[in-house]
Amino acid sequence: MNRVRTIGLLTSGGDAPGMNAAIRGVVRCAVNNGIKVLGFEKGYNGLLDNEYREMDKRSVSDIVDRGGTILFTARSKEFFDKEGRAKAIEVLKKNSVDALVVLGGDGTFRGAKELYDQCNGEINVIGIPATIDLDIACTEYTIGFDTAINTAMEGVDRIRDTSTSHERCSIVEVMGRNAGYIAAYTGISTGAEDIIIPENNEYGDINKIITRVRIANKKGKKHYIIINAEGIGHSYEMANMIETITGIETRATILGHLQRGGSPTCKDRVYASIMGCKAVEVLIEGKKNRLIVYRNGEFTDVDINVGLAEKKPFPQYFIRTAVELESK
Ligand code: F6P
């Protein structure tokens, strides 16, 4: 088994609160085990531009509580071409990097897997799931999700105050790309009247929503909160339609990128730290081409190809619970 001497580390795709805690975990655990860490900046672009800094234990001081990523991030187009990856492999070899640790989502892992295959496994790769969307099938936890849902929840609590004062209907659009996890958690935690997610078309039927808004209004309800997932979109048009048809004042708010920022929650700091250390442990054990995951209450690792091939059906209990909680 070849000993790992130098790790390349990068963050790619959308940033997620807790990435810094994971970076700290990787760096501290690696350096404590005599492994050098090169932090590449701006995602895979840093590999293409040979833009890195060597990271010692002090370089990750005072970051566990900070949102964003000290390594910066990007969605690199060039890296997704074979020629781009060849350039990246050359840079990694030139810097004697034995293994690359990447933090990001599905796209980031696909890039890492392609790099591993293209260099015939000469450079090892390890992925750490970091995305606010929770849309990686092989893991029940992704870094940043917990902070994002807490931020979205607080946002909706505030909107509810003003919505009630004006006796309005409010549509709040939350992030999640094509997944409805942020919407489901935000909706249930704020007692929203409706939750519209891409995974359940029926519940999001606008005509049924309009009927429910009318009924609630007749019963004297002082607000009507609808959480709409980004994957559905069209919040302004929906608001317009509800107001025109029901005559009830309706406002739409798109929470947007504020959900991606801010100091990570305790859970994100702790889980991200564990995943960062775990990535280094897996490398030291000599495992190759792995994803660090959380499943069945444990931190473990799976083969990247296996992990990427997994499918995650949206848990039906979210939908059942949301329906059960309606005040009929
Ligand atoms: O994947 C995280 C995420 O915030 C998604 O929820 C959203 O669809 C996307 O990134 C937004 O990307 P960008 O910051 O490039 O606009």
* Closest C-alpha among 304, 328, 316 to residue 137: 304
- Residue 131, ligand 1, Cβ within 6 A: yes
Name the active-site residue from 133, 146, 194, 301: 133
How many Å lie between the centroid of ligand 1 and the Cα of residue 222?
33
Per-position pLDDT tens, the chain of length 328: 568 999 999 999 999 999 999 999 999 999 999 999 999 999 999 999 999 999 999 999 999 999 999 999 999 999 999 999 999 999 999 999 999 999 999 999 999 999 999 999 999 999 999 999 999 999 999 999 999 999 999 999 999 999 999 999 999 999 999 999 999 999 999 999 999 999 986 667 889 999 999 999 999 999 999 999 999 999 999 999 999 999 999 999 999 999 999 999 999 999 999 999 999 999 999 999 999 999 999 999 999 999 999 998 999 888 888 888 877 6
Hey, which of 75, 132, 175, 185 would you mutate to test ligand 1's pocket, going by the most ligand atoms within 8 Å of its Cβ?
175
**C-alpha pair distances (Å), 156 with each of 52, 74, 144, 210, 232:** 40, 29, 18, 20, 18
Hey, which of 77, 109, 133 would you mutate to test ligand 1's pocket, going by the most ligand atoms within 8 Å of its Cβ?
133
How many Å lie between the centroid of ligand 1 and the Cα of residue 257?
8
- Ligand 1, atom 1: nearest CA belongs to which residue? 14
Residue 206's pLDDT is 87
- Residue 194, ligand 1, Cβ within 6 A: no
- Residue 133, ligand 1, Cβ within 6 A: yes
Residue 258's pLDDT is 98
Q: Which tens digits make up the pLDDT trace of 293-316?
A: 999 999 999 999 999 999 989 998
CA–CA dist 155, 143 (Å, integer): 20
- Residue 175, ligand 1, Cβ within 6 A: yes
- Residue 176, ligand 1, Cβ within 6 A: yes
SS (H, E, C) the chain: CCCCCEEEEEECCCCCCCHHHHHHHHHHHHHHCCCEEEEECCCHHHHHCCCEEECCHHHHCCCCCCCCCCCCCCCCCHHHCHHHHHHHHHHHHHCCCCEEEEEECHHHHHHHHHHHHHCCCCCEEEEEEECCCCCCCCCCCCECHHHHHHHHHHHHHHHHHHHHHCCCEEEEEECCCCCCHHHHHHHHHHCCCEEEECCECCCCCHHHHHHHHHHHHHCCCCCEEEEEECCCCCHHHHHHHHHHHHCCCEEEEECHHHHHCCCCCHHHHHHHHHHHHHHHHHHHCCCCCEEEEEECCEEEEEEHHHHHHCCCCCCHHHHHHHHHCCCC
Tell me if residue 135 is catalytic: no
- Ligand 1, atom 6: nearest CA belongs to which residue? 176
Atom number of ligand 1 nearest to Cα 182: 6
- Residue 132, ligand 1, Cβ within 6 A: yes
Residue 165's pLDDT is 97
- Ligand 1, atom 15: nearest CA belongs to which residue? 14
Residue 320's pLDDT is 86
CA–CA dist 188, 116 (Å, integer): 41
